[in-house]
Amino acid sequence: MKRLATLALGALLTVNAFALFGETEPNDTRATADMVLYGNSAPWADVGVISLTANDSDFFKIRLNAGDYLTAITFPISTLYNVPDTVMALFDATGTTAIVWNDDAGSGFGSAIRWQATATGDYYIAITGYHGGVQSSLSYYEGATHGEAGDYILTVSVVPEPASMVALGTGLVSLLALRRRKKN
Ligand SMILES: [Ca+2]
Ligand SMILES: [Ca+2]
């Protein structure tokens, strides 16, 4: 019985393993967004070392279910905390105004966003270098002109709302109980 539970939990953890990712340029617009994170099933958390060059923007397409908690963080590493100075936003599939956006989180120049999805759908994480303009506008990221160059670590995690996690746990426990009854 214990072994079955371990196997079931192991399978869950394997499906949702932590993964290292990279980017494929060009990914400078919503239409050309990198698909490397698309198709993950929550809960998941992936981390990538991403390169920002002058005038570069990096878009990553993700899928969220209503209720999912998204967290995305950029950590500048060319000069720890500070270079490149990133700005990050989250867009839905059609809107030109960001759902959430951030320039500097904490005392450095990295960026952080957190959002609970209000609807199931495709979403886009957009990252560019700091420059003047309206940071909530899609045009701040598509066709950006900036001089920020360097590597940053991008960490993205998606966690279902606690109710879904409880349902998942309850389902697993019921499955195990059913197996036990069959055995007896
Ligand atoms: Ca890039
Ligand atoms: Ca890019």
78 CB-near residues (< 8 Å, 6+ apart): 84, 149, 150, 151, 152
The token pair that represents 51 in the structure block: 């390169």
Question: Near ion ligand 2, which residues have CB within 5 Å?
Answer: 25, 27-28, 56, 58
Amino acid at 116: Q
Ligand nearest to the CA of 23: 1
Please give the distance of CA 79 from its chain centroid, rounded to a whole number: 23
Rounded distance from Cα 86 to ligand 1 centre (Å): 11
149-179 pLDDT, tens digit each: 999 999 999 999 877 666 666 676 676 676 7
pLDDT of 16 over the 70 cut = no
- From the CA of 52, the nearest ligand is 1
Ligand number with the minimum distance to the CA of 33 = 2
Question: For the structural domain made of 19-160, what CATH number should be given?
Answer: 2.60.120.380
In angstroms, what is the span from residue 26 Cα to ligand 1's centroid?
A: 8
Say if CB 48 and CB 77 are below 8 A apart: no
Residues with CB under 5 A from ligand 1 (ion): 51, 56, 58
Q: How confident is the model at residue 18 (pLDDT cuts 50, 70, 90)?
A: confident
Q: What percent of the chain has pLDDT over 70?
A: 80
Question: Which ligand ends up closest to the CA of 48?
Answer: 1
What average pLDDT does the segment 86-95 reach?
A: 98
Indicate the burial class of 155 (C-beta count within 10 angstroms; 0-12, 13-18, 19 or more).
middle
**Local confidence band at 12 (pLDDT 50, 70, 90 cut-offs):** low
Q: Looking at residues 134-139, what average pLDDT do you find?
A: 98
**Mean pLDDT to the nearest integer, 57-79:** 98
The CA R_g of the chain, rounded to the nearest whole Å, is: 19
Whole-model pTM: value is 0.84
Strands (E), the chain: 19-21, 44-52, 57-64, 69-76, 86-91, 100-102, 111-116, 121-129, 150-159
